[in-house]
Structure formats: structure tokens, C-alpha cells
């Protein structure tokens, strides 16, 4: 091989290697630079098992859940200032309003017809692994509830789940709670005895975000 031929061969190799990025980029996209994936949380994350609690909390199979009922950040549709809990019982959503025009939205289960409450209140008390006191009316119609006239201790079978927010109105207990659930399939449904229930992972998340004194609005009308 002559010096001239060797030089041409080296130039050809350099030209080919230098052209590789353009060639590979052309394989990825035919219309310009490759778009980067948005830096947003993966919908449905945060629903794994929790083993750091006094009782283990089972994972939620998010594949069996309508995605709209999974915890997510959305534009605030409520008109309320940041830091307010708004429950849309018609659409089965709970919003925690945030700064910047956004809200954290959670799917909820709500009360059956005739067992619903609405109005404005505040979070008067917060409790981890709360004791459940079934109302007298419930004990009269439900043999299981009747077993606990002095209240059911907190635990994995307790209907309130791992956390509860107690609502008061004008200084008086409304007997209305926002709490976890032993029936994750009830989220998105109207089947409770009046209170608002969330996935256990979601009530823990909400509990950690809101202080005592947080304003709560419960609406029977759909929020756009």
C-alpha cells in the first residue's frame, strides 16, 4: 500500500466515524432532535407494601385501579386557596390544594345515598391507627359493629385503616372522618356509611401533608 493510499484510507475511516452520530441520530428520528421524556412522577408509584408501620400494609395492585383514582398532581379546579382539602363526592375525588394553581388529587370512596354529609369544617384531630367507634345506628343494623360498643382498637382489620382525620364544625364534632380502608375496591364507589375513605397509602400521604386546623370543604355537587 502506498503512502497516498494509506492516507486516503485513514481519512475515509475518520470521515465514517465522525459521521456516526449523525447516522445514529437519523435512525432515532426523522424530524429533528429526539424529544426528552417529561420529568413527571410515574402514575401509580407509591402504592407498594409498607412494612414500617405497627401492622403491615399490603400493596395496591394499581393495574386493577382506574388511573384517574390514583394519587396525582392536577390543575386546581376548586377555586380554594392553597392548603384546603376539598372533597368532590360526586366524582369521588379529594383535592389538597397547593401553591402555583395545582392540587394533589386522590381517589376516594364516599357514603351511600342517605349517609352523606356536606359543608365546611376543619381538621380538629389527627390519629394514627385510630380506634373505631361505630355509631349507635350502625350497631343497631350491623351485628359486626355491635361487637364494639366500647370501640374497636386500631389494627389491620379496623375499618378506619392506619390514619384518620376528624372533622369539626363550629367547635363540634361532625362525626365525619377522612380515613383509610380495609376495602381498597371501594375507592371510586359510593358504599361507605358516610365517611370519606382513601387507599391506605394515600391516607398516610395526606395525613403527613396536612396540619390540625386545615380547612375542609365537602361538596355534593360535581367540581369541574
Q: What is the dihedral of CA 26, 30, 36, 42, to 10 degrees?
A: -110
Is 195 one of the catalytic residues?
A: yes
Q: Tell me the per-residue pLDDT of 135-147, one tens digit each, with 9 for 90 and over.
A: 787 888 888 888 8
Domain 66-219, CATH: 2.40.440.10
Identify the pLDDT of residue 38: 34
Q: Tell me the per-residue pLDDT of 98-112, one tens digit each, with 9 for 90 and over.
A: 999 999 999 999 988
Identify the pLDDT of residue 31: 31
Identify the pLDDT of residue 60: 96
Q: Which of 160, 164, 178, 195 is the catalytic position? A: 195
Domain boundaries, the chain: 1-33, 66-219
Q: Where are the beta strands (DSSP E) in the chain?
A: 72-75, 85-88, 93-97, 102-107, 110-111, 119-128, 163-169, 172-179, 190-192, 196-197, 215-219
Identify the pLDDT of residue 3: 47
DSSP 96-152: EE-GGGEEEEEE-BEEPTTS---EEEEEEEEEESPPB---HHHHHH-HHHHT-TT-B
Identify the pLDDT of residue 140: 87
Which residues are registered as beta bridge partners of 204? none
Q: pLDDT 10s digit of each residue in the chain, 224 long?
A: 544 444 444 434 444 333 433 322 222 222 333 333 333 444 567 999 999 999 999 999 999 999 999 999 999 999 999 999 999 999 999 999 999 999 999 999 998 865 678 899 999 999 999 998 887 878 888 888 888 988 899 999 999 999 999 999 999 999 899 999 999 999 999 987 779 999 999 999 999 999 999 999 999 889 97
Identify the pLDDT of residue 43: 57
Identify the pLDDT of residue 30: 29
Q: Which of 179, 181, 184, 198 is the catalytic position? A: 179
Identify the pLDDT of residue 44: 61
Coil, strand or helix at 85: strand
Amino acid at each position: 500500500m502506498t503512502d497516498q493510499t494509506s492516507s486516503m484510507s485513514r481519512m475515509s475511516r475518520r470521515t465514517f466515524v465522525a459521521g456516526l452520530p449523525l447516522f445514529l441520530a437519523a435512525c432515532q428520528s426523522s424530524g429533528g432532535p429526539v424529544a426528552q421524556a417529561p420529568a413527571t412522577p410515574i402514575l401509580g408509584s407509591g402504592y407498594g407494601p409498607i412494612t414500617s408501620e405497627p401492622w403491615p400494609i399490603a400493596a395496591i395492585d394499581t393495574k386493577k385501579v382506574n388511573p384517574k383514582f390514583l394519587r396525582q398532581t392536577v390543575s386546581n379546579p376548586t377555586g380554594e386557596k392553597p392548603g384546603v382539602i376539598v372533597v368532590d363526592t360526586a366524582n369521588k375525588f379529594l383535592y389538597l390544594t397547593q401553591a402555583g394553581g395545582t392540587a394533589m388529587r386522590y381517589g376516594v370512596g364516599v357514603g351511600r345515598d342517605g349517609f352523606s354529609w356536606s359543608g365546611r369544617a376543619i381538621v380538629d384531630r389527627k390519629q394514627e391507627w385510630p380506634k373505631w367507634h361505630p355509631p349507635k345506628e350502625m350497631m343497631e343494623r350491623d351485628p359486626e359493629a355491635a361487637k364494639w360498643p366500647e370501640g374497636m382498637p386500631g389494627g389491620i382489620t379496623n375499618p378506619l385503616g392506619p390514619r384518620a382525620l376528624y372533622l369539626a364544625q363550629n367547635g363540634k364534632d361532625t362525626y365525619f372522618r377522612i380515613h383509610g380502608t380495609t376495602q381498597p375496591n371501594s375507592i371510586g364507589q359510593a358504599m361507605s356509611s358516610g365517611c370519606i375513605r382513601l387507599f391506605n397509602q394515600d391516607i398516610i400521604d395526606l395525613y403527613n401533608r396536612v396540619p390540625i386546623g386545615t380547612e375542609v370543604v365537602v361538596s355534593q355537587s360535581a367540581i369541574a
